[in-house]
Amino acid sequence: MNERLLLFRVSIVGALLVASACGDGPEGALSLPGPDGGDTVAQALAEGTSGSWVRGFFVAYAGEPVLLCGALTESYPPRCAGASVILRDGVIWREPAEDTVVIGGVVDGELSVSGLPCGFSSDGPCSAYPGMVASGDALWSEVEYSVLGMLDRGGLGPRQCPPGADC
């Protein structure tokens, strides 16, 4: 594992220890999505998902909001096909096939790892993760990722602290 990736993962794990007081699992631990990765984007929109994991493909273009898409077009670079939601600052995303490591989010309208924007270069912070592709002014994932957030006005935002919790 390269040093930069290890540093990012250690930073996120530290942040999660602080955030775990607001978790929804046993003893306040952050819950992980089920084996399917969570609801599809279409399911989340239809059911009004609240504080759940939603799975989809990332699509980000310079100057545009980061989207979580139900499917991708076959164009290069791809665009969203089907249902999509805007990812707002504060959501958490995780690698597929990882059991415990939550690795990133959206900060200042950009996909990020430990608060560092992934950028649009092929060697940016997100390049170490499965299926992440950057080219020119576009960044997208060719595999589904799971995102934890609250659905609000067609976007996923950060989960809110439950009443009485010290978050």
Flag whether 24 is in a domain: yes
Flag whether 112 is in a domain: yes
What's the pLDDT score for residue 114?
86
Q: How many domains does the chain have?
A: 1
What's the pLDDT score for residue 12?
41
Task: Return d(Cα 69, Cα 79) in angstroms, integer.
Answer: 9
Flag whether 73 is in a domain: yes
Task: Determine the average pLDDT of the residues in 116-141.
Answer: 91
Instruction: Examine the pLDDT at 2 and tell me if it is beyond 50.
Output: no
Q: What is the pLDDT of residues 135-159, one digit of tens each?
A: 989 999 999 999 998 888 778 888 6
Q: What is the pLDDT of residues 62-98, one digit of tens each?
A: 999 999 999 999 999 999 999 999 999 999 999 887 7
Flag whether 9 is in a domain: yes
Please give the single-letter amino acid code of residue 84. S
Flag whether 166 is in a domain: no
Q: How confident is the model at residue 49 (pLDDT cuts 50, 70, 90)?
A: low
HSE value, Cβ hemisphere, 13 Å, CA-based, for 115: 7
Task: Return d(Cα 47, Cα 73) in angstroms, integer.
Answer: 25
Flag whether 13 is in a domain: yes
Structure pTM?
A: 0.79
Instruction: Examine the pLDDT at 6 and tell me if it is beyond 90.
Output: no
Flag whether 139 is in a domain: yes
Element at 105 (helix H, strand E): strand 102-107
- Domain, as residue range, for 78: 3-157
Flag whether 65 is in a domain: yes
Residue positions counted in the chain: 167
- The CA–CA distances, whole Å, from 164 to 20, 22, 132 equal 15, 10, 38
